[in-house]
Amino acid sequence: MKTTETHCPYCALQCGMTLTPGLPRVRLEPRDFPVNRGGLCAKGYTAADLLDHPDRLLTPLVRKEPGDRRSPLREAGWDEALSLTTKAIQAAQQSYGPDSVGAFGGGGLTNEKAYALGKFVRVALRSSSIDYNGRFCMSAAATAANRSLGVDRGLPFPLEDVARARSVLIVGANPADAMPPSMQYLDAGRAAGARHIVVDPRRTATAAGAHLHLQPLPGTDLALANGLLHIAIREGYVDEVYVAERTTGFGAVRAATNAYWPERVERITGVPEAQMRETVRLLATERPAMILTARGAEQHSNGTDTAQAYLNLALALGLVGRPFSGYGTITGQGNGQGGREHGQKADQLPGYRRIDDPAARAHVAAVWGIDPDELPGPGRSAYEMLDRLGTPDGVRVLLVLASNIAVSAPHSNRVADRLGDLDFLVVSDIFRSETAELADVVLPTAQWAEEEGTMTNLEGRVLRRKRALPPPPDVRTDLEVLAELAARLGRGEFFSSDPRAVFDELRRASAGGIADYAGITWQRIEAENGVFWPCPSEDHPGTPRLFADGFPTPSGKARFVRVEHRDPAELPDRQFPYVLTTGRNMQHYQSGTQTRRVKALTVALPEPRAEIHPDLARRHGIADGDLVELRSRRGAAVMRARLSDGIRPDTVFAPFHWPGANALTNPALDPHSRMPAFKVCAVAITRHEKGTD
């Protein structure tokens, strides 16, 4: 059988792998590709288990009693499922206008599908109502990078550069669990004597191997960054020449950091002054130096300003744009980077263009063959859209592609209620996810190994996802479904279901934009191990490293932005005395729709565990393995306790790969990016009396 070279379906590292269809099963093997160099994590190794999984959706599903979501889902043909969908769309739009039909997309979609979804909503539905799960993932760091550097490419350098840095500050990231093969670059740096400083309320596997571990109270990273900059200024570590030549706005930032003297920052964060001084000394003297952030720093109601505070520090030290140096945010989802470039964001058009920019509208409308005035304006951000589902001015018919919002959105009980108030819910998925279980129509979609497309990894490297085998007979790709629905809505001439044709159109739509793919071809991707955007023409080499010569801002300089510490939206009190933070376990992926169905992974980690410190456990009579109930102002969740002296005694950590954690989380939104506060809310904990087996 033919062997196909492709990439892992899960995270943004996009490890290389090969697939060889055979009887009875597809053989999956690691492949030497620049990011993974032959490594894979347990999720990658077992990804092919889902191709022929017995739970797989093989036909569309509709309700036995149409309109009654309490009646069971039954199998149906495509024509029936799409007719019901089209009728629901038309009925809502006639009664409530175009914006009453919306879509929720995902950062796991290929570039082609993300692009087609954005276009489908604007051109076929003529609606402004679209956003996606990247709002819950990358939006804070993306907003800060756009504001400060003029462009948001998660890592503005190849991953291999991390191995060459002599000091790395890693804030709220746990790549040892989230991207295990990427640790080879950190390990190589450490073996060569590099100093790594990890900032995390838990002693993670990433922190355990670092030179220094700073353990702040969740939600205080901004104060910490300003405190580090305060020390850098006092100790004369600011690169004054770089600041003068390559940046603007340092004066205001310098003045603001006066108030972040070490004793005050120690009081806010709990990080000892000596550790802060050592961190600054290492970043200033062990060069090249890097600062990396991920969701621990970013998923806060001040996430944009927090990412900015670390950008300010990187700029003041003169790191950004120098070899093997700089600031980067570690993108999460398989196509988390491409997914935020091609127009599935409420405020965006392809090429990372803004939908409120007349020149951008004119360019994209010309590629799409429509009048720019036909294009809707910006829509509501993810949570704001979900929060209004089924209300008079909200979305009444929702299409969900590649997200399991019933589990992964904050304040999930409210989101489930809102989904229940919709006139009609359509979910495209591989399995009956918790969100699919709430739908009127469920559409079975092809899996990664069954379709062609491109993905853009955490480095901004555009890759090819290749088809190794056909989808099951009655399963369609998302591109086919969108093109068919558009045809039923009378807009079929604008849509293609051929991924190559869609990619070529995407290249033209992105041309001249910030994320310019114009020069990237399928052939080049293969010949060059991926191509880094921007790549404006076929004779352009692509851009592995940004900012060597300047910044894509109007002045060509990077902007400092003054940012101030604010308390998290919810603080512990007598009723809810602890801070809950949430995140990832190595064995499971996101809402768990996929990995909870992989036997090897559920054997390794069958259920969620709330991590708590032994001191906290003792106070509440909790032993390791006991069931505990966590309660917040919004809901409750029961899970087993895992005692660990690596976590702060005032903090509880819970994974969100199962329903539960998001019943607790606070949907307080960051004013700049609309990122919810997944990483801080106030909770109470009790031993769960029923069944402490």
Ligand X SMILES: Nc1nc2c(c(=O)[nH]1)N[C@H]1C(S)=C(S)[C@@H](COP(=O)(O)OP(=O)(O)OC[C@H]3O[C@@H](n4cnc5c(=O)[nH]c(N)nc54)[C@H](O)[C@@H]3O)O[C@H]1N2
- Integer Cα distance of 427 and 407 in angstroms: 14
Residue 408 binding target from ligand SF4, ligand X, Mo ion, none, CB below 5 to 8 Å by type:
ligand X
CB of residue 250 vs ligand SF4: minimum separation in angstroms? 38
Q: Is 343 helix (H, G, I), strand (E, B) or coil?
A: coil
Residue whose CB is less far from Mo ion, 30 or 676: 676
- Integer Cα distance of 585 and 204 in angstroms: 10
The identity of residue 417, as a single letter, is D
Quick one: which segment of 94-102, 176-184, 349-357, 372-380 binds ligand SF4 (CB under 6 A)? 176-184
* Angle in degrees, CA 176, 34, 189, rounded to 5: 50
- Integer Cα distance of 40 and 44 in angstroms: 6
CB of residue 308 vs ligand SF4: minimum separation in angstroms? 28
- CB contact burial 179-210 (16+ within 10 A = b; e otherwise): bbbbbbbbeebbeeebbbbbbbbbbbebbeeb
ω before 24 within 30° of 0 (cis)? Answer: yes
Residue whose CB is less far from ligand X, 462 or 677: 677
Interaction of residue 13 with ligand SF4, rule CB under 6 A:
yes
Q: Is 32 exposed, middle or buried (0-12, 13-18, 19+ CB in 10 A)?
A: exposed
Residue whose CB is less far from ligand SF4, 42 or 91: 42
Tell me the residue number closest to ligand SF4, measured at CB.
44
Token pair 């806060």 is found at 300
Token pair 């994590």 is found at 41
ω before 499 within 30° of 0 (cis)? Answer: no
Taking CA atoms, 505 is separated from 335, 365, 369, 555, 693, in Å, by 18, 12, 11, 31, 58
Residue whose CB is less far from ligand SF4, 279 or 329: 329
Residue 8 binding target from Mo ion, ligand X, ligand SF4, none, CB below 5 to 8 Å by type:
ligand SF4
CB atoms under 10 Å from CB of 374, counted, come to 12
Residue whose CB is less far from ligand SF4, 40 or 210: 40
**Residues in CB range of 417: below 8 A, 6 or more apart:** none
Binding marks (x or -) toward ligand SF4, 124..163, rule CB under 6 A? ----------------------------------------
Interaction of residue 530 with ligand SF4, rule CB under 6 A:
no
Residue whose CB is less far from ligand X, 375 or 475: 475
Interaction of residue 419 with ligand SF4, rule CB under 6 A:
no
Residue 661 binding target from ligand SF4, ligand X, Mo ion, none, CB below 5 to 8 Å by type:
ligand X
Interaction of residue 10 with ligand SF4, rule CB under 6 A:
yes
**DSSP output for 48-81:** GGGTT-TT---S-EEESSTT-TTSPEEE--HHHH
Residue 120 is given by DSSP the state I
Residue whose CB is less far from Mo ion, 173 or 481: 173
Binding site for Mo ion (CB under 5 A): 137, 332
CB of residue 409 vs Mo ion: minimum separation in angstroms? 13
**DSSP output for 564-616:** -----SS---SSS-EEEEEE--TT--TTSTTGGG-HHHHHH--S-EEEE-HHH
Residue 431 binding target from ligand X, Mo ion, ligand SF4, none, CB below 5 to 8 Å by type:
ligand X
- Residue 304 φ then ψ, to 5°: -65, -45
**Residues in CB range of 574: below 8 A, 6 or more apart:** none
CB of residue 540 vs ligand SF4: minimum separation in angstroms? 27
CB of residue 604 vs ligand SF4: minimum separation in angstroms? 14
Residue whose CB is less far from ligand X, 350 or 667: 667
CB of residue 298 vs Mo ion: minimum separation in angstroms? 10
CB of residue 138 vs ligand X: minimum separation in angstroms? 7
CB of residue 586 vs ligand SF4: minimum separation in angstroms? 9
Q: Using CA of residue 277, residue 283, residue 285, residue 286, what is the dihedral sign?
A: positive
Tell how strand 627-631 and strand 636-643 pair up. antiparallel
- Integer Cα distance of 230 and 564 in angstroms: 13
Residue 15 binding target from ligand SF4, Mo ion, ligand X, none, CB below 5 to 8 Å by type:
ligand SF4
Residue whose CB is less far from Mo ion, 220 or 299: 299
Interaction of residue 173 with ligand SF4, rule CB under 6 A:
no
CB of residue 39 vs ligand SF4: minimum separation in angstroms? 7
* Angle in degrees, CA 187, 189, 193, rounded to 5: 110
> Which stretch of DSSP H or E encloses residue 464?
strand 461-465
CB of residue 299 vs Mo ion: minimum separation in angstroms? 9
Residue 342 binding target from ligand X, Mo ion, ligand SF4, none, CB below 5 to 8 Å by type:
none
CB of residue 651 vs ligand X: minimum separation in angstroms? 8
Site for ligand SF4 in 376-395 (CB under 6 A): none
Enumerate the H helices of 30-168 as residue ranges: 42-45, 78-96, 111-119, 139-149
Interaction of residue 60 with ligand SF4, rule CB under 6 A:
no
Interaction of residue 598 with ligand SF4, rule CB under 6 A:
no
Interaction of residue 431 with ligand SF4, rule CB under 6 A:
no
Nearest to 610 by CA among 688, 545, 539: 688
CB of residue 554 vs Mo ion: minimum separation in angstroms? 31
Give the total of residues touching ligand SF4 (CB under 6 A): 14
What's the residue count for the chain? 693
> Which stretch of DSSP H or E encloses residue 226?
helix 221-234
ω before 60 within 30° of 0 (cis)? Answer: no
CB of residue 174 vs Mo ion: minimum separation in angstroms? 13
Residue 199 binding target from ligand X, ligand SF4, Mo ion, none, CB below 5 to 8 Å by type:
ligand X
User: Could you say which of 14, 148, 215, 591 contacts ligand SF4 (CB under 6 A)?
Assistant: 14
Quick one: which segment of 10-18, 186-194, 195-203, 600-608 binds ligand SF4 (CB under 6 A)? 10-18
Residue whose CB is less far from Mo ion, 137 or 355: 137
Binding site for ligand X (CB under 6 A): 11, 106-109, 133, 136-137, 171-175, 177-179, 199-202, 204, 218-219, 221, 294-297, 299, 332-333, 401-404, 407-408, 428-431, 433, 445, 478, 581-584, 586, 588-591, 593-594, 653, 656, 661-662, 665, 678-679
Taking CA atoms, 145 is separated from 68, 142, 150, 314, 382, in Å, by 46, 5, 7, 12, 20
Site for ligand SF4 in 177-216 (CB under 6 A): 179-181
Residue whose CB is less far from ligand SF4, 40 or 319: 40
CB of residue 612 vs ligand SF4: minimum separation in angstroms? 27
Q: What are 176's two structure tokens? A: 């040892």
Starting at the edge strand that comes first in sequence, how are the strands of the sheet with 531-532 ordered?
Answer: 453-456, 461-465, 531-532
Site for ligand SF4 in 31-50 (CB under 6 A): 36, 40-41, 43-44
Residue whose CB is less far from ligand SF4, 476 or 657: 657
Interaction of residue 448 with ligand SF4, rule CB under 6 A:
no
Residue 514 binding target from ligand SF4, ligand X, Mo ion, none, CB below 5 to 8 Å by type:
none
**DSSP output for 165-220:** -SEEEEES--HHHHSGGGHHHHHHHHHTT-EEEEE-SB--HHHHTSSEEE-PPTT-
Residue whose CB is less far from ligand X, 16 or 519: 16
Name the residues that contact ligand SF4, by CB under 6 A.
8, 10-11, 13-15, 36, 40-41, 43-44, 179-181
